[in-house]
Amino acid sequence: MKENILTRVLLLILVMACPSCAKFLDVVPDNVATLDNAFTTRIEAKKYLFTCYSYMPKNGDIGDDPAMVGGDELWRFATETGFFSMAQGYQNVVTPLGDRWGYYFRAIRDCNIFLENIGKVPDLLEPERKRWIAEVQFLKGYYNFYLVMMYGPIPLMKTNLPVNADGAAVDIARAPVDSCFNYILELINGATGQLPASITDPTTELGRITQPIALSLKAKVMVYAASPLFNGNADEAGLKNRDGTPLFNPAYSRVKWDSAVAACKAAIVACQQAGLKLYKYHPDFQQYQLSDTITTQLSIRNSFCERWNSGIIWANTQTNSTGFQQMITTFIDPNSRDFAFHGLLSPPLHMAELFYTNNGVPISEDKTWDYANRYALKVAGTADELYVRKDYTSAYLNFNREPRFYADLGFDGGVWYGQGRYDDKNFLDLFYLEAKYRQRCGFGKPGFGSITGYYLKKAVHFQNVIGTSGDYSVTYYPWPIMRLSALYLMYAEALNEAGGPGAEVYNYVNQVRDQAGLKSVESSWTTYSNNPGKYTTQKGMRDIIHQETLIELAFEGQRFWDLRRWKEAQTVLNRPVKGWDLIQETAEAYYRPKVIFSQSFGLKNYFWPISENSLSIDRGLVQNLGW
């Protein structure tokens, strides 16, 4: 019996320590096990600190981040490939796609090892010891939070399981989701006071945890805890442990939104005290005297792509943004004949329709914009020269849109500013796309073209340059995990949910809109919307904040999670994915919406399945509903 229990303990440790994780510190010289030396000196302990950091999810990496191609934000040619298979409905319980159960429990295990042993290091000064402890406490909270986002209620591994544990200890049940959130907040709260307010040595420490990062994550955790997926979710009322303990409370609590308001405000204050502010582009090319149009577009693009800019709270140094940029950059320069990367990820038509008109309201609401004829043809005129190539025929959908539309998306006839050409007064010299069948950027040639007719511009740094011989000079940036604009929108959302719309709600949404070159919510809806009073009701303002969030954070890996926490995925992800008719050479034939894939999303898809292997080893676990 003891031998059987020991086997299960070891198997559980193996499951929670999956071999796919390449640790920074597995062994030391002479193959001595890590723990024999890991805490003997400050230098060795610091290696283990970075081991704890090494589990950070690689945000923006399509091979590691399910939010990039696992939803409906980007589409690609391949089928049944990695996380893209999730978007196509191929999730399963035998080998779950994107399964991170073992990976993040191994991360938590290593965090526990660090916290249990860091007190033994003899040559570590106390202030530094406290900071390292705080960083690892935060990381432990973050890894638990990521598991909750994926799986819902999880077991809480507050301390590591000993190898000689008895059977009852091996069978670890899932904790109720409210207990999970409380524990995550306990870890973050315990860490915050010992973290620095800002990074003082940027050359070696950028990416490490600060107080603004900790408080911003706390705000995000509390917003998630208050959101419909976790707050009063009656659809999960049947999820119970084997002893009958319910894992979701079906009763809605408005108090959770009140707590989220306070947390968001505290995070904003900390960020502002650290000197963070919404980013505005200041031209690098004074000789060109850039227009307001291009300056605004660069404020939008660079708020994401300019590394460590004033609006970035936290960025991930482990993400290879260079590779991602190469993957999504299309054939911009007609003089470059051998460029190997050509728009391999494509925004679907519904993403193009998401953005506002130039009046700052949804295209279906703007009483001055011809929504019914959005697929009709229009020829670009002089007033369109910085958006669409003059005299080029494109869809009406691509005209008179907000600055974020043109900053985020490339399309047939669309101007693509930068990439070595910076004089926006010389309209004819600016790059533009030709995306019809067999055109320069179009479908029909090996390795070329978009599957939808749209291209992702937002994540491509405007100073990347494609050489005539096919070489590509890429400006690297760490992938933003959280930007100040996201925090502002979460604060507005929490305020609206807690007490309805008001001046403070409008203020923080309007600050984000101002950065994007738009007028206030009040002015835009009153003047241009066919529903002018929408922003005065809680539901109307909720819809506005949700759309503002989806637009502002588009293609950053946030939409995937937001649609889930709002419980809107069953509506949004149950519709056809569409693009233009790519095999057509004329505008009349090309600009016809075509179904690429009919997507489906069921109630069970809100959470990952726990693998059958994990369930067989830890008999205290119960499977998520529907799997």
Q: Alpha-carbon distance 390 to 413, whole Å?
A: 9
Instruction: Give the pLDDT band (50/70/90) at residue 167.
Output: low
Write out the two tokens for 70.
């696992």
CB atoms within 10 A of CB 91: 19
Closest of 449, 537, 564 to residue 77, by C-alpha = 449
Tell me the pTM: 0.93
pLDDT over 90, % of the chain: 80
Instruction: Give the pLDDT band (50/70/90) at residue 332.
Output: confident
Instruction: Give the pLDDT band (50/70/90) at residue 334.
Output: confident
pLDDT at 8: 46
Task: Pick 76 or 595 by higher pLDDT.
Answer: 595
Exposed/middle/buried for residue 428 (C-beta within 10 Å: 0-12, 13-18, 19+): exposed
| Average pLDDT for 344-356 | 96
Closest of 463, 417, 411, 458 to residue 300, by C-alpha = 458
Closest of 569, 409, 489 to residue 70, by C-alpha = 569
| Average pLDDT for 45-65 | 94
SS3 28: strand
Give the pairing type, strands 27-28 and 32-33: antiparallel
pLDDT at 614: 95
Cα Dmax for the chain: 83
Beta strand extents in 304-452 (DSSP E only): 312-316, 377-379, 393-395, 409-411, 415-416, 431-432
Q: Alpha-carbon distance 623 to 608, whole Å?
A: 10
SS3 24: coil
Q: In the 3-class helix/strand/coil scheme, how is 53-122 assigned residue by residue? A: HCCCCCCCCCCCCHHHHCCCCCECCCCCCCCHHHHCCCCCCCCCCCCCHHHHHHHHHHHHHHHHHHHHCC
Exposed/middle/buried for residue 436 (C-beta within 10 Å: 0-12, 13-18, 19+): buried
Q: Alpha-carbon distance 232 to 367, whole Å?
A: 37
- Mean pLDDT, the chain, rounded, equals 91
Element (H, E) at 47: helix 42-53
Query: What digits encode the pLDDT tens for the residues 444-502?
Result: 876 667 999 999 999 999 999 887 776 789 999 999 999 999 999 999 999 999 999 99
The conformation of residue 398, written as its DSSP 8-state character, comes to G
Write out the two tokens for 392.
């080029």
pLDDT at 203: 85
Instruction: Give the pLDDT band (50/70/90) at residue 566.
Output: very high
Distances (CA, A) of 271 to 74, 266, 477, 558: 31, 9, 21, 20
Distances (CA, A) of 317 to 161, 197, 374, 461: 31, 19, 41, 16
Angle at alpha carbon of residue 420, lines to 414 and 426, rounded to 5°? 60
Q: Alpha-carbon distance 543 to 182, whole Å?
A: 28
Write out the two tokens for 261.
């308001």
pLDDT at 36: 74
